[in-house]
Amino acid sequence: MRIAVNTRLLIPNKLDGIGWFTHEVMQRLVKMRPEDEFLFLFDRTFSDEFIYGENVWAKELFPQARHPLLYRMYFEYSIPKALKQWKADLFFSPDGFLSTKTRVPQIPVIHDINFEHRPEDLPKSYASYYRSYFPRFAQKAEKIITVSDFSKKDICDTYKIDSAKIHVAHNGCNTAYRPLTSVEKTGARGRFADNKPYFIFIGNFSFRKNIHGIVKAYDQYRRTGGTSKFVFVGNPLWHYKEMDDALASSMYADDIIFPGRLEIEDLVLALGSSQALLFPSYFEGFGIPVLEAFAAGTPVICSNVTSLPEVAGTAALYAEPEDIEGLSVHMHTIEKNNSISTKLIQQGIQQKNKFSWDSTANKVNDTLFH
């Protein structure tokens, strides 16, 4: 069988959530199915590190698909042409994008449809493209894979899709995350927070991640006696008005640290040395940082909406996204109550063990080929 794969997010040293999904799943699928042929379709010069086996071919297509106008050119012209030339039997798209111009069977991974509920979080051209094309992708797909039961229900309800068409393959967690030694924690705190304890957020700085709410909760925590710093890990260029306003009005902005985007080795140290991960998002299709915190032996404070209770189970402290007081109280609890922190860490390890990339790949394999 000849399977073409949309691998445009396999970018060296720049793997994001969907890029990691593609990497972890495809390296396993290639090895699981040595009798099949895979054509990896990139939109830029690709790295050999992503050619996972002798049964993998790769092709660079034009143009680089990083804007809605270029999405249309790439998926409506370049992809159908490549599928026809290669005589593909199936097109698998881990980032959810499909082509409406091909008869080749297609299966996307639609991780979430946050743009349907919060289009204001995106530039208008992107929100317009997603809201125009993803309903068509969902209808055209032979099957749909998603990453949580929450997202499955959301896609079913929003796009009026039969639930039998949608298959859940939960995300896994990078095995690099682990509990750190005391020496490692001391070194990381010196590097990231001037030798002080700190709380952490990891992700992009969009409105739905509730960065402004975290800053306000941190202010409340400090006003009520807290002394730890706060570290925001992510692209420092991605700010939005409410976030900037919250930072500008914060009395403790000097203790809020932005180290930028970190590579995996440094992420392991930063997360594993923190007092807790704060992740009070308004909307998540899954929430991989929660699993990563569990693997790192770090307590989690998160919101009680969308997919997060499904992922975190009983291993997190929950609050409404806008419950600033509740988030602040949880920060004090983590800081002052060792027994609760220890219990959360133990429960987190148990919860993390329910998810793995091997399981994800097996479920993707079952959906694609059965």
Q: Indicate whether 198 and 309 sit together in one domain.
A: yes
Distance, C-alpha 198 to centroid of its chain: 23
Amino acid identity of residue 199, one-letter, is F
Q: Is residue 250 in a domain?
A: yes
Q: Indicate whether 333 and 255 sit together in one domain.
A: yes
Whether the CB-CB separation of 85 and 94 falls below 8 Å is answered with no
Q: Is residue 177 in a domain?
A: no
Q: Indicate whether 34 and 168 sit together in one domain.
A: yes
Q: Is residue 262 in a domain?
A: yes
What is the tens place of the pLDDT at every residue in 209-220?
999 999 999 999
Q: Indicate whether 107 and 133 sit together in one domain.
A: yes
Q: Indicate whether 148 and 286 sit together in one domain.
A: no
* CATH label of the domain that carries residue 139: 3.40.50.2000
Q: Indicate whether 342 and 284 sit together in one domain.
A: yes
**Domain of 236, in residue numbers:** 182-352
Angle at 163 between CA 160 and CA 165, to 5 degrees: 100
What pLDDT was estimated at residue 13?
A: 87
Q: Indicate whether 146 and 82 sit together in one domain.
A: yes
Q: Indicate whether 222 and 347 sit together in one domain.
A: yes
Q: Is residue 311 in a domain?
A: yes
What pLDDT was estimated at residue 260?
A: 93
Q: At what angle do helices 288-296 and 264-272 cross, to 10 degrees?
A: 70
Low-confidence ranges of the chain (pLDDT < 70): 237
Output phi, psi for 257, to 5 deg. -115, 135
pTM, two decimals, is 0.95
What pLDDT was estimated at residue 237?
A: 65
Per-residue CA distances from 173 to 66, 231, 276, 352, 360 (Å): 26, 21, 18, 8, 10
Q: Indicate whether 33 and 71 sit together in one domain.
A: yes
- Structurally, the chain folds into a number of domains equal to 2
What pLDDT was estimated at residue 196?
A: 97
Q: Is residue 207 in a domain?
A: yes
For 293, the token pair is: 């915190």
